[in-house]
Amino acid sequence: MAEEETPAPAPVTSADVARLAGVSRATVSFVLNGTPGHRVGEPTRARVLDAARRLGYVPHAAARSLRAGRSNLVLMPASVSAIGRLVSEWVDDLYGELERHGYTAVLHAGRFADPVDAARAWAELRPAAVIALDGDRLTAGAADLLRRAGVRGVLAFASGPVEGVHTVGFDHARIGAAATEHLIARGRTRIGVVLPRERGLGALARPRLAGVESVAARHTATVTPVELAYTRESATGLARRWRGLDLDSVFAYNDEYAALLLHALRAEGVAVPDEVAIVGSDDLVLSGLQQPALTTIRLELPAPARIADAVHELIETGGAAPVPAMEAVLVHRRSS
Amino acid sequence: MAEEETPAPAPVTSADVARLAGVSRATVSFVLNGTPGHRVGEPTRARVLDAARRLGYVPHAAARSLRAGRSNLVLMPASVSAIGRLVSEWVDDLYGELERHGYTAVLHAGRFADPVDAARAWAELRPAAVIALDGDRLTAGAADLLRRAGVRGVLAFASGPVEGVHTVGFDHARIGAAATEHLIARGRTRIGVVLPRERGLGALARPRLAGVESVAARHTATVTPVELAYTRESATGLARRWRGLDLDSVFAYNDEYAALLLHALRAEGVAVPDEVAIVGSDDLVLSGLQQPALTTIRLELPAPARIADAVHELIETGGAAPVPAMEAVLVHRRSS
């Protein structure tokens, strides 16, 4: 399928456009990038646009932002696989809303142990704003670095306020808490909590576990973390040693892990919900179709347009109106 | 959760660093961006680095790439939701491999009707390379525009060669063809093909349908496209009118749609596989756990490291060794 490549020619520059149009580079920059302090007549403008079109010249967003002192880039740090089925359409819609405001949205997938290292890598691209889905990893120091680099807005989904960040309430602990309140109301007292082994999910799983623990502590229920990789082998292994764990219920991180564990338990003859009640999260389409149908948590996220408006406001004015927090609503079905 | 924002201060610039370090901006640029044609002693370098650290100054990747004539950005156009469960971990691994080579990988989620408009938007960010998962939408004109803008490598997954693009064979028609060969070998002749209603999936679904049609035409089997949205309501609606369609089998686009349709058909009393055989695609973890277990197509993708190496080679030399094409392998289970 691969063919021989021709060596890359020298890129077309604004100097080439200037030469072809018979004008100065400053004039080209004025016409194409909107740099201030310059006036040109309509025929000159037309000549520049025609030359740019004929040469296939594309203005450089970075050069434009360097001159204008403004970028139109909105950066969202996140790994693709951690986004998950539920949030992926929401993210796509958010990208669409940002485009409507004239921004270019990009996802930055770099992995960093230190929040300031992460902020430095994002700042190198000089975005106008950063939207952090996993805002509990943002620190005041990271936000400060971003601001010093000219990032005008930082919006983050986080469980609590972060200095210099416009936070939207998004507390994973509430998901675990809602599941646990339901299980305890159904008479269950020995609660397992699935911790996914997949990388990138630990940061989301730990607060869910903490939410389970805080509710269980108020009701003298026990909490047992159980590790599970998203593979048949791991689920089968867990199902085989299930009865030894002596648990009457499990909060399974999300609906995908819940469905995986449900099928593995049934294959080993463990009765759901009689022997073990299962609660997932995210209310995926498939959850209601499992046998038995999965009890789950429905996450009500703020409208993408609302987030895009807040980001635009942050960029334009440095502040924005509060955005309503995420809600976690239990959906009771047959698995609990 | 939202707090009052303080107005953004003026960003820290290399001029601030130069002032604090008592050197020229050219010296700062030399130390931090590696601009050529300059020499500085170790004490000066240390003074610049110290000033940058104290001010929280981050070099501007774009400015650096403007000066060096090179960017370290690798851009991947794709919507997050179209990537899907199967490919998302592969994409994360690819990002990791690109980072190993010193590149920053970003996902660009812009939606464009015209390939040249898309290329123009990508070119504005002046990436070193573009990796297109949906390469069948790339044209020679779009590749030419990218090259003129200084993009040194364009690698695309595509069903056939595209001028100016290093293509990796990835033909969705082969997925539909493999499913159809299996169904016909099992004696089925009236084949339905699920077309997802979700946006962004049409471009992937049409070649799969074409693959079904090309095999069916050689065996006098009939092919009936059926639309399905990824919702319970849509699946139930399709299941209720299923018997009127007079089909003995269905290729259900992928395992998620296959599982959705399987559950809806069973709920309406349609026997799988006796009345209708179902084949999905992607060999997701959950597929083997459905009742009955889903027949599927396993996609064997090239190793992410192999793709990252090819991209690096393209950027460095303008050419790269061929990368093996995707393979589509049938996994026979109980649903067919």
Interface contact A256-B286, CB threshold 8 A: yes
Interface contact B104-A125, CB threshold 8 A: yes
Question: Which domains, from first to last, does chain B contain?
Answer: 14-67 (1.10.260.40), 73-170+303-321 (3.40.50.2300), 172-300 (3.40.50.2300)
Q: What pLDDT is attached to residue A63?
A: 60
Position A178 confidence tier, pLDDT thresholds 50, 70, 90 = very high
In this complex, the residue of A260, A319, A323 whose CB is nearest that of residue B286 is A260
In this complex, the residue of B105, B148, B322 whose CB is nearest that of residue A12 is B148
Segment A2-6 mean pLDDT: 46
Q: Say how many C-beta atoms besides its own lie within 10 A of residue B206's C-beta.
A: 16
Size of interface A-B (CB pairs under 8 A): 249
Interface contact B12-A148, CB threshold 8 A: yes
Query: Is the complex ipTM more than 0.85?
Result: no
- Chosen for mutation from B1, B4, B136 (greatest number of chain A CBs closer than 10 Å) is B1
Q: What pLDDT is attached to residue B202?
A: 77
- List CB contacts (< 8 A) between A232 and chain B: 285, 288-289
Q: Is the pLDDT of residue A146 over 70?
A: yes
Q: Which residue has the higher pLDDT, B326 or B35?
A: B326
Q: How far apart are CA B266 and CA B241, in angstroms?
A: 13
Q: Which residue has the higher pLDDT, A153 or A59?
A: A153
Interface contact A88-B80, CB threshold 8 A: yes
Q: What pLDDT is attached to residue B179?
A: 98
Question: Closest-CA residue in chain B for A14?
Answer: B149
Write out pLDDT tens, residues B40-91.
888 888 898 888 888 878 776 656 655 555 678 999 988 776 666 667 888 8
Write out pLDDT tens, residues A85-143.
667 888 888 999 998 998 989 988 887 888 998 998 898 888 999 999 888 889 999 99
Segment B129-154 mean pLDDT: 91
Q: How far is A61 from chain B (nearest CA, A)?
A: 5
- Residue A200 has φ and ψ, to the nearest 5°, of 90, -20
